[in-house]
C-alpha cells in the first residue's frame, strides 16, 4: 500500500530517504517553532534554507530529491517562490535568449526570484492590475511605475527581505496605448549588499494567520518610482516589443502569460493529499488511543474510532486523501503532456488543462482545509493544542483556498469551459474529461438501475450516477443561459448554479480517476480490494453529501439515495480493521507530523504531559507579571471588596 500511495517503488524510496534525512538532522528540528518571535522564526527559516541548499549541492541531490527535501523541511520560505514560480515563469514565457541568460543564474541561485503579480487593489482580476511598464524609445528601456496606492505589489512570497529579482506583471504602454498585462524581469536588490535598488520601496506586509507556519515567509509589498529596466527584460515568448517600439504578438495564445499559474495549481493539487493525509493520520491514530464511555464490567472504555459517528466523519477524509493523491498524480501526467505540447507550439489541450487545474485546485484545497479542521475536532479538546500539530497545519494550509486563484473564481473558469463545450456540442465532439457531455442523450434519459444496497458496489453504476448528475446540471445551466439576451449577464446571474455544476464536474473527475487507477494500475488483489473499499467510500460519501443534486436532477429516487447511505455504513465497518494500516501507508514520520497525538507508537498521554512542561510559562512557578499585576489585587482591599 505504501508503494500504491507513493506511485511506484522508486518514488517511495526517494521520498522515504529524504524524509529520514530531514528527520535525523538536528538542524531541521521544528517542535520549538511555535515559541519563537517573528524575527527569530524568520532567521531560523533562512538558516534551514541555506543548510538545505548546501545539502542539495553537497549530496548532489536530483531535482526530485531536492523537492522532497524541501517538502519535509516543512517551512514555507522564499525558495518555494523561486523554484515553483520564478523559474517556471522564465521557462514558460521567456524567449530562447532570455532562458539562456536567466535560467543558469536562477538554477544556481546566483539570483533569487519571486512572482510579483498581485497588488493591494487586485488579485483575481489580473487584467485590472495597475502597475505600468512604459516603453521609452530613446533609451530602449521600460519605466516601471506604481501610479496609485492600490497598484503596490502586495503578497509576493520572499519579496520583502530576500528576493533579488522578481517577475513583475504590469500593463504595457507604448506611445500612450495599453497593450495588456505582461511579465517583466526586474532586479530588486543589489547583489553586493542586498539593499533595495534606487526607486524601489520594499517591505513585509505583516503577520499572517497562525503563528509558526506562514510567518516564516516574508510576503512583501513593492512600489516603483519610475524604475528603468532594459527592453529585453520583458518576457517575450507571447508578445514582443521591438526597439522601434512596435508591439507584435506571436502565434502563441495570450493565455500562456497565465501559464505559471497553471503549473503551480497542478502542484497544489498534487500537494493537497499530503496535507490531508497528515491530518487524517493524526486523527486516526489518536482515535484508536482515545477511549470514552462504554466500559462493561470494569473493562476498558470504547476506542472513539469505534463510534459510527466518528467513522462517518473520519473515513471519508481518509478516502479523500487517497482520491486526491491519485487525482494529483493523474493531473501531473496531464500537465507534463500539455507542457511538451506547448513547447512544440501545440495549444489544443490548454483550455481543458486550465479547467482541470483550476477546478481541481479549488475542489482539493477546499476539501483539505475543511478536512484538517474536522480532524482537529475529531481529536476533541486536545486537537486544539499546538502540540497536536493540527492548528499549525490548518493555518499553513488554509490560504491555499485563496492563493493561486481564489476557489470560487477558479470554479467560474471551469464553468466557462463547460458552457463553451456545451454550446459547441452540435459540431465539436467533446474529448478528455468532458467526453461524457458527448453522451448527453442517454445521460439525460436513463435513470439509475440500483435496487439493493449491494448494487452500489459497482463502478459502472457509480460512474453513471456522477456523469448523469454533472451532465444534467451543466446542460440545465446551458438551457437557462440561452434565455438571456446578454450571455455575460446570464453568466453572472446564474453563477451560483454554475459553480455547483463545476463542482459536480470536478467530483466526477476525481471519482473516475480513482476507478481508473483501481482498474489499471494497482497490481495484486490485497491492496486493490482494500483500495476498492476506500473508492466506494469516497464516491458514496459524495453522493450522500450532495444527494440534493442527484435527486433534483431526477437521476436517483429517494430510495436509491438511502440505499447508497446504507451501503456507506456497511463500508465503514470494512475500513475499520485496516484504518491504521491505511494511514501508516502514508509513511509519515513523527518529525513530519510534528504531533503528539499522531505519534507512531501511540504513546500519547505521557508525551502530552511532557510537552506541556516545555511551555515557557512552566519555566518557573512564579512568572514575570504575577508580582506586579496579580499580587496587588490580592493584597489591596478595593471598593468592591468592602461591600
Q: Would you tell me which residues interact with ligand FAD (CB under 6 A)?
A: 81, 115-118, 122-124, 155-157, 214, 219, 399, 402-406, 408-409, 412
Q: Is residue 404 annotated as part of the catalytic site, yes or no?
A: yes
With contacts defined by CB under 6 A, name the span among 117-125, 232-240, 465-473, 508-516 that binds ligand LFZZZEXQ. Answer: 117-125
> How many other CB atoms are there within 10 angstroms of residue 315's CB atom?
27
Contact 589/23 with Cβ under 8 angstroms?
yes
The CA radius of gyration of the chain, in Å to the nearest whole number, is 27
Q: In whole angstroms, how far apart are CA 464 and each of 200, 337, 392, 470?
A: 57, 28, 40, 10
DSSP label of 402: T
Q: Nearest approach, Cβ of 398 to ligand FAD (angstroms)?
A: 9
With contacts defined by CB under 6 A, name the span among 114-122, 466-474, 501-509, 602-610 that binds ligand LFZZZEXQ. Answer: 114-122
The residue (of 80 and 329) whose beta carbon lies closer to ligand FAD is 80
The residue (of 409 and 611) whose beta carbon lies closer to ligand LFZZZEXQ is 409
State the burial class of residue 243 (Cβ atoms within 10 Å of its Cβ: 0-12, 13-18, 19+).
exposed
State the burial class of residue 640 (Cβ atoms within 10 Å of its Cβ: 0-12, 13-18, 19+).
exposed
The residue (of 84 and 549) whose beta carbon lies closer to ligand LFZZZEXQ is 84
The beta-carbon contacts of 598-606 under 8 Å, at least 24 apart in sequence, are 598/281, 598/282, 598/283, 598/285, 598/286, 598/388, 598/389, 599/285, 600/285, 602/285, 602/288, 602/289, 604/286, 604/289, 604/290
Partner from ligand FAD, ligand LFZZZEXQ, none binding residue 362, C-beta < 5-8 Å depending on class: none
> Three-state DSSP class for 296?
coil
The residue (of 158 and 459) whose beta carbon lies closer to ligand LFZZZEXQ is 158
Which residue bears the cell 527569530? 40
252 is a contact residue toward ligand LFZZZEXQ (CB under 6 A): no
CA atoms within 13 A on the CB side of 393: 34
Q: Nearest approach, Cβ of 11 to ligand FAD (angstroms)?
A: 28
The residues, ordered by sequence, that sit 6+ positions from 581 with a Cβ below 8 Å of its Cβ are 1, 530
Characterize the bridge pairing of strands 200-204 and 227-230.
Answer: unpaired
Partner from ligand FAD, ligand LFZZZEXQ, none binding residue 408, C-beta < 5-8 Å depending on class: ligand FAD
Query: How close are the terminal C-alpha atoms of the chain, in Å?
Result: 70
The residue (of 82 and 223) whose beta carbon lies closer to ligand LFZZZEXQ is 82
Size of the site for ligand LFZZZEXQ (CB under 6 A): 33
List 84, 119, 467, 532, residue binding ligand LFZZZEXQ (CB under 6 A): 84
**What's the rounded Cα separation, in Å, for the pair 92 and 86?**
10
The residue (of 13 and 124) whose beta carbon lies closer to ligand FAD is 124
List 3, 35, 126, 205, residue binding ligand LFZZZEXQ (CB under 6 A): 126
DSSP label of 135: E
Partner from ligand LFZZZEXQ, ligand FAD, none binding residue 312, C-beta < 5-8 Å depending on class: none
**What's the rounded Cα separation, in Å, for the pair 68 and 103?**
22
Contact 122/130 with Cβ under 8 angstroms?
yes
**What's the rounded Cα separation, in Å, for the pair 137 and 244?**
6
**What's the rounded Cα separation, in Å, for the pair 510 and 363?**
9
List 109, 205, 409, 425, residue binding ligand LFZZZEXQ (CB under 6 A): 409
Partner from ligand FAD, ligand LFZZZEXQ, none binding residue 419, C-beta < 5-8 Å depending on class: none
183 is a contact residue toward ligand LFZZZEXQ (CB under 6 A): no
352 is a contact residue toward ligand LFZZZEXQ (CB under 6 A): no
Contact 427/405 with Cβ under 8 angstroms?
no
With contacts defined by CB under 6 A, name the span among 51-59, 199-207, 401-409, 578-586 that binds ligand LFZZZEXQ. Answer: 401-409
List 247, 307, 403, 484, residue binding ligand LFZZZEXQ (CB under 6 A): 403
The residue (of 118 and 284) whose beta carbon lies closer to ligand FAD is 118
Cell of residue 194, nine digits: 542586498
| Nearest partner of 114 among 204, 48, 14, 246, judged by Cα | 204
List 144, 317, 400, 583, residue binding ligand LFZZZEXQ (CB under 6 A): 400
With contacts defined by CB under 6 A, name the span among 408-416, 453-461, 484-492, 595-603 that binds ligand LFZZZEXQ. Answer: 408-416
Partner from ligand LFZZZEXQ, ligand FAD, none binding residue 400, C-beta < 5-8 Å depending on class: ligand LFZZZEXQ
List 19, 87, 160, 262, residue binding ligand LFZZZEXQ (CB under 6 A): 262
| Nearest partner of 541 among 206, 230, 313, judged by Cα | 313
> Three-state DSSP class for 454?
helix
Site for ligand LFZZZEXQ, residues 265 to 294, rule: CB under 6 A: 267-268, 271, 275
413 is a contact residue toward ligand LFZZZEXQ (CB under 6 A): yes
The residue (of 425 and 444) whose beta carbon lies closer to ligand LFZZZEXQ is 425
> Three-state DSSP class for 132?
strand
Characterize the bridge pairing of strands 141-145 and 132-136.
Answer: antiparallel
The residue (of 362 and 450) whose beta carbon lies closer to ligand LFZZZEXQ is 362
Partner from ligand FAD, ligand LFZZZEXQ, none binding residue 264, C-beta < 5-8 Å depending on class: ligand LFZZZEXQ
Q: Which of 91, 352, 392, 404 is catalytic?
A: 404
Q: Nearest approach, Cβ of 164 to ligand LFZZZEXQ (angstroms)?
A: 18
576 is a contact residue toward ligand LFZZZEXQ (CB under 6 A): no
**What's the rounded Cα separation, in Å, for the pair 103 and 108?**
8
Which residue bears the cell 446564474? 494
Partner from ligand FAD, ligand LFZZZEXQ, none binding residue 525, C-beta < 5-8 Å depending on class: none
DSSP label of 154: E
**What's the rounded Cα separation, in Å, for the pair 132 and 392?**
38
Partner from ligand LFZZZEXQ, ligand FAD, none binding residue 219, C-beta < 5-8 Å depending on class: ligand FAD
> How many other CB atoms are there within 10 angstroms of residue 617's CB atom?
8
List 141, 329, 373, 404, residue binding ligand LFZZZEXQ (CB under 6 A): 404
Contact 13/61 with Cβ under 8 angstroms?
no
| Nearest partner of 30 among 396, 455, 505, 499, judged by Cα | 396
The residue (of 21 and 355) whose beta carbon lies closer to ligand LFZZZEXQ is 355
Which residues are part of the catalytic machinery? 404
Residues at the site binding ligand LFZZZEXQ, with contacts judged by CB under 6 A: 80-81, 84, 115, 117-118, 123-127, 157, 255, 258, 261-262, 264, 267-268, 271, 275, 350-351, 354, 397, 400, 403-405, 409, 413, 416, 420
Amino acid at each position: 500500500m505504501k508503494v500504491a500511495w507513493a506511485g511506484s517503488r522508486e518514488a517511495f524510496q526517494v521520498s522515504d530517504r529524504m524524509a529520514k534525512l530531514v528527520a535525523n538532522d538536528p538542524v531541521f528540528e521544528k517542535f520549538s517553532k511555535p515559541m519563537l518571535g517573528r524575527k527569530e522564526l524568520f532567521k531560523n527559516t533562512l538558516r534551514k534554507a541555506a543548510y538545505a541548499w548546501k545539502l542539495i549541492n553537497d549530496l548532489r541531490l536530483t531535482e526530485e530529491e531536492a523537492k522532497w527535501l524541501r517538502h519535509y523541511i516543512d517551512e514555507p520560505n522564499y525558495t518555494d517562490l523561486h523554484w515553483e514560480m520564478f523559474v517556471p515563469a522564465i521557462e514558460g514565457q521567456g524567449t530562447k535568449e532570455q532562458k539562456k541568460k536567466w535560467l543558469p543564474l536562477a538554477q544556481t541561485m546566483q539570483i533569487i526570484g519571486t512572482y510579483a503579480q498581485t497588488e493591494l487593489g487586485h488579485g483575481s482580476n489580473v487584467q485590472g492590475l495597475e502597475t505600468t511598464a512604459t516603453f521609452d524609445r530613446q533609451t530602449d528601456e521600460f519605466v516601471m511605475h506604481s501610479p496609485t496606492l492600490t497598484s503596490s505589489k502586495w503578497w509576493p512570497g520572499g519579496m520583502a527581505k530576500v528576493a533579488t529579482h522578481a517577475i513583475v506583471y504590469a500593463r504595457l504602454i507604448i506611445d500612450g496605448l495599453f497593450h495588456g498585462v505582461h511579465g517583466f524581469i526586474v532586479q530588486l536588490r543589489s547583489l553586493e549588499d542586498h539593499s533595495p535598488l534606487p526607486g524601489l520601496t520594499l517591505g513585509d506586509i505583516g503577520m499572517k494567520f497562525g503563528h509558526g507556519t506562514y510567518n516564516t515567509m516574508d510576503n512583501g509589498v513593492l512600489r516603483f518610482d519610475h524604475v528603468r529596466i532594459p527592453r529585453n527584460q520583458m518576457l517575450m515568448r507571447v508578445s514582443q516589443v521591438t526597439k522601434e517600439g512596435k508591439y507584435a504578438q506571436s502565434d502563441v495564445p495570450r493565455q500562456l502569460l497565465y501559464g505559471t499559474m497553471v503549473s503551480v495549481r497542478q502542484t497544489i493539487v498534487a500537494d493537497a493529499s499530503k496535507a490531508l493525509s497528515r491530518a487524517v493520520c493524526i486523527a486516526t491514530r489518536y482515535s484508536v488511543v482515545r477511549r470514552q464511555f462504554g466500559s462493561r464490567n470494569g473493562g476498558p472504555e470504547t476506542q472513539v474510532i469505534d463510534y459510527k459517528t466518528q467513522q462517518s466523519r473520519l473515513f471519508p477524509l481518509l478516502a479523500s486523501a487517497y482520491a486526491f493523491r491519485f487525482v494529483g498524480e493523474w493531473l501531473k501526467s496531464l500537465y507534463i503532456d500539455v507542457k511538451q505540447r506547448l513547447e512544440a507550439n501545440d495549444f489544443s489541450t490548454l483550455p481543458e488543462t486550465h479547467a482541470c487545474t483550476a477546478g481541481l485546485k479549488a475542489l482539493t484545497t477546499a476539501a483539505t482545509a475543511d478536512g484538517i479542521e474536522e480532524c482537529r475536532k475529531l481529536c476533541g479538546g486536545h486537537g486544539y493544542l499546538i502540540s497536536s500539530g493540527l492548528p499549525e497545519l490548518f493555518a499553513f494550509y488554509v490560504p491555499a483556498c485563496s492563493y493561486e486563484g481564489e476557489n470560487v473564481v477558479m470554479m467560474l473558469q471551469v464553468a466557462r469551459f463547460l458552457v463553451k463545450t456545451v454550446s459547441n456540442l452540435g459540431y465539436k465532439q467533446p474529448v478528455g474529461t468532458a467526453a461524457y457531455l458527448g453522451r448527453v442523450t442517454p445521460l439525460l434519459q436513463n435513470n439509475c438501475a440500483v435496487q439493493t444496497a449491494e448494487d452500489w458496489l459497482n463502478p459502472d453504476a457509480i460512474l453513471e450516477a456522477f456523469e448523469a448528475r454533472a451532465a444534467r446540471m451543466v446542460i440545465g445551466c446551458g438551457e437557462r443561459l440561452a434565455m438571456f439576451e446578454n450571455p455575460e449577464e446570464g453568466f453572472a446571474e446564474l453563477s451560483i448554479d454554475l459553480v455547483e455544476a463545476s463542482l459536480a464536474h470536478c467530483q466526477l473527475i476525481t471519482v473516475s480517476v480513482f476507478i481508473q487507477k483501481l482498474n489499471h494500475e494497482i497490481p495484486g488483489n490485497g491492496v486493490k480490494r482494500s483500495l476498492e473499499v476506500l473508492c466506494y467510500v469516497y464516491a458514496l460519501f459524495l453522493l450522500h453529501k450532495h444527494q440534493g443534486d442527484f435527486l433534483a436532477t431526477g437521476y436517483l429516487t429517494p430510495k436509491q439515495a438511502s440505499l447508497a447511505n446504507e451501503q456507506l455504513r456497511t463500508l465503514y465497518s470494512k475500513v475499520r480493521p485496516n484504518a491504521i494500516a491505511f494511514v501508516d501507508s502514508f509513511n509519515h514520520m513523527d518529525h513530519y507530523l510534528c504531533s503528539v497525538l499522531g505519534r507512531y507508537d501511540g504513546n500519547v498521554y505521557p508525551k502530552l504531559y511532557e510537552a506541556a512542561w516545555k511551555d515557557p510559562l512552566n519555566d518557573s512557578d512564579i512568572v514575570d507579571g504575577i508580582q506586579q499585576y496579580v499580587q496587588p489585587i490580592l493584597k489591596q482591599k478595593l471598593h468592591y471588596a468592602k461591600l
